[in-house]
Chain A
Amino acid sequence: MRLLVPATILAIAGVAAARADQIDYNQLIATEGLAGAEDSLAALPAPTPSDDFALGGVRFLRAAELALQTRYAVNMTGMAEQSGLPFLRLPIGENPDAEPFEPAMVAQLFEDALVTLEASREALDRIGDDDAVAVVIDTAVLWFDINSNGTRDAGEGLFEVAGGDLNRALAGGFTPPVVRFDTADAAWLSAYAHLLSGMSETILALDPTTAIARVLDSAAAMETLGQGMQQRGWVTGDDAMWVDLIAIFIHAIEGQPDADRSRAAHAHFLDVIEDNQVFWSRVAAETDNDREWIPNKSQTSALPITFPPETGDLWRQVLADADAMLRGEQLIPHWRLRGDAGIDLAALMQNPPEIDIIGLFQGETILPYAQVGRRIDGQSLRQFEDLLGGDALLFAVILN
């Protein structure tokens, strides 16, 4: 701690000294890590739009870093990674000195992420359409201090941790790109922060702690019971883990969701759309072509993937459909409702029902939200998929 404070002061001093030119954000992150970089950037007395973007970006990554650190501290690995949930699915190594896991840590992880993501948006929201953001990032320098030791170790690089979704398209001689983030990308990053916040609020609305506790407690009791017996049960090992994971999901989903959290999630998802619309209008107005993150029709991405020219238009149609669905203006189809009726998602998220899996499928749970009206037809999404083929999911993750 005594060493950290002077280091931070020095970093801030360095940053201030560099004000006349351009702050080397890459150097800052590479040496200080995300936590140090955040402190330095947050302490700037008169941040430029680029500084705000850098701060928002660092805080965004810091949300993931905090989650990874929480997980590493208690070896929250196998089942968490298999869950497919944000933050939990990222692969991390084994901690030989792990502390005991507590079920409430999962909810706390998402609570913490909400706070950090909000701080990220707070910085990004300061950036307006007319601001000139230019933040050049060598993505190779981005790293997560997963084991909280202050130094970059093997397995802590951004693409080592988050490369899972990108592997398919980025495989083979992949070189982390250098990207010049601009004003449009501030809206993109804000949208992504809203998306992760919406997902976090959804998870918290379902009270995962009780579900995790009851399943893990019983699994431990069954494991203990089995140790004294000659014959194990038929379901063991990975099979048992999957049974437990499915049980956790069902226990969490079933019951009465927290309405305040559900409403907060709904608001975040609407903000995802709004920020995305800002992004696409900003990016359409760009006339340069400089190491772009997500390009317009006339630009090229710094990422080693090709964005077909129609990508933006089709994705905006997907977003328009999603917006109409979130506002209840277009209804979600359900197999029990014919073509002129569907589920009002806005009503459902504003006043969520007590959920049970059977009732969701059979229809009882969603019947109070059924309405006659225009149903979402999914055509935009199909066109998007047709355009991008097997990479549609990858692009959806990138575009958010």
Chain B
Amino acid sequence: MLARLATLAALAATPLAAETDISDLIASAGLSGAEDSLSATPDPSPSDRFALGAVQFLRAVELAIQHRYDTRIDVPLGGAARLPLIRLDVAPNPDARPFAADRTDAALDAVLAKLADSLDTLSAIEDADAVAVRVDTGALWFDIDADGTRDAGEGVFEVAEQIFYEASAPDFKPPRIRFDTADAAWLTAYGHLVSGAVQMWLALDASDAIERGVATAEGFAAFNAGGDLGWLGSWAPSIDTAAIVARAFEGPIDAGRMATAQDHFVQMTVQGQRFWRLAIAETDNDREWIPNANQQSALPRSVPAHSSLSWPIILSEAEAMLRGEVLVPHPRLPGGGGLNIARLLQQPPAVLDLTALIQGEQALPYYEAGDTVRIDSAVRFYMLMGGDIFALRDQLRRVEMRLPL
């Protein structure tokens, strides 16, 4: 409580920050050039740090998109086309190379390194700092083909059109946003989320699962050229997707990477709660990214007013679960206890076996007596949505919108 009051006092006492606008820099120099330029800023202000951290984050996304552009997948993958990374199929490339697990893993390591730069930069921003960074989102672009110039289809909303469906409306105007101190926490949370997801991808060797899935689909395509496989055959891409996901989860696990992923996910929940704490304390209403209950978002999609109530609760419960402070029930194991997810992620089985996990053999070593996650949390979340399933769907869409990778 005292800490919160101190934060409020600090925010109130902070003079209006000098606004930084990085729109022109990114428009002209691209993300790579902007990063070089911002990195060279002597004695950076909190706004400068946010600008650099954001550019580094977007540069990590750009690296992933550039890798995807350079990678060809010639078979339909159904739901797998919605998997992280794979869904960044943004433009046709006649010179793209076939999907190769080793090359993708190397690209993801580069993405991780850039995300680490972003998190390092953002970590210097404290709650009492005054961040004010203006961005014309119309100026943001990804150099998909790595030719140094902005071409058609490289605008951020052209890339994100599938996720942010409003961008496809004819009268859509890219919003101008003023990022503030709370948004530094949001971006940090997001950086940890993506870093954790990429680490988990690498820990599970998901690239290999995709390579196998693609090879299988290609192998059958060679037999079935022009042939009709009937009703079940039309589900082949979806079944390939299920096989890819199951294969990724089964098999050897890189325990070091999984432990790193766990740490990232914990930090995501910590920074997410920090974001809401700072956002709730805001009293302005100026081109907000994610608004509190009294603000409006600059984005043309509303955020449910109760988000500032519901999300901190959810994040808090997620943090407790990820730290192993509350346990996850297993249907085969006694009540009054559950699986310690922290231990499962920090010391995973050498070879994960979904059958053994469900049957209980691989769950047993992670069982502890103690409090379990409350089953009613999902119900409570639903009630916070006012019992409105459409509000819940909108909330989930919003979550998805925040996940461009």
Of B215, B220, B364, the residue contacting A337 (CB under 8 A) is B220
Kindly specify which of B122-130, B143-151, B240-248, B278-286 makes contact with the partner chain: B240-248
What number of B residues sit within 8 Å (CB to CB) of A? Answer: 39
Mark contacts of B99-140 with chain A using CB atoms, 8 A cut-off: 1 yes-contact digit, 0 otherwise: 000000000000000000000000000000000000000000
Chain B residues whose CB sits within 8 angstroms of the CB of A324 once the complex forms: none
Inter-chain contacts of A251 with B (CB < 8 A): 355-356
Query: Which residues 15-66 in A have Cβ within 8 Å of B in the complex?
Result: none
B224 touches A233 (CB 8 A): no
- Which residues of A (347-400) have their CB < 8 Å from a CB of B? 356, 358-359, 361-364, 367, 370, 372
Q: Is A134 an interface residue (CB 8 A)?
A: no
A341 contacts partner chain B, Cβ-Cβ < 8 Å: yes
Closest A residue by C-beta to B335: A231
From A225, A244, A364, B333 is in contact (CB under 8 Å) with A225
A251 to B361, CA, bound (A): 12
Q: Which of B200-230 contact A (CB under 8 A)?
A: 212-213, 215-216, 219-220, 223-224, 227-230
Interface residues of A in 222-238 (CB under 8 A from B): 222, 225-226, 229-235
The reply to whether the CB of B360 lies closer than 8 angstroms to some CB of chain A is yes
Of B84-92, B155-163, B231-239, the stretch lying at the interface with chain A is B231-239
Chain A residue, CB-CB nearest to B216 = A364
Answer yes or no: A243 CB below 8 A from chain B CBs: yes
Q: Which of A304-327 contact B (CB under 8 A)?
A: none
Cross-chain contact B334 with A215 (CB below 8 angstroms): no
Q: Which residues of A contact B233 (CB under 8 A)?
A: 335-336, 338
Flag whether A148 is at the interface (Cβ < 8 A).
Answer: no
The answer to whether B239 touches A362 (Cβ under 8 A) is: yes
> Which partner residue on chain B sits nearest A214 by CB separation?
B361
Bound-state CA distance A96–B360 (Å) is 30
The answer, yes or no, to whether B367 is at the interface (CB within 8 Å) is yes
Residues of B within 8 A of A254 (CB): 355
Chain A min CB distance to B154 (Å): 36
Q: Are B359 and A215 in contact (CB under 8 A)?
A: yes
Q: If A235-B331, A367-B219 touch, does A361 touch B239 (CB 8 Å cutoff)?
A: yes
Given contacts A244-B359, A250-B355, A338-B228, contact A230 B220 (CB under 8 A): no
> B220 contacts which of A214, A222, A336 (Cβ < 8 Å)?
A336
Measured CB to CB, the closest approach of chain B to A269, in angstroms, equals 26
- Chain B residues within an 8 Å CB radius of A372: 223
**Contact status of A363 and B223, CB under 8 A, knowing A240-B332, A251-B355:** no
How many Å from the CB of A372 to the closest CB on chain B? Answer: 7
Per the bound structure, the CA–CA distance linking A364 and B250 in Å amounts to 15
Could you tell me the distance between the alpha carbons of A225 and B213 in the complex, rounded to whole angstroms? 40
Contact present for B330 and A233 (CB under 8 Å): yes
Inter-chain contacts of A219 with B (CB < 8 A): 360
19 contacts between A and B (CB under 8 A): A215-B359, A222-B364, A229-B335, A230-B334, A230-B335, A233-B331, A233-B333, A235-B331, A240-B332, A247-B356, A250-B355, A335-B232, A336-B236, A358-B242, A361-B239, A362-B239, A364-B212, A370-B219, A370-B220
8 additional A-B pairs beyond A246-B359, A341-B223, A363-B219, beta carbons within 8 Å, are A214-B361, A218-B359, A226-B333, A226-B334, A230-B336, A358-B242, A364-B212, A370-B220
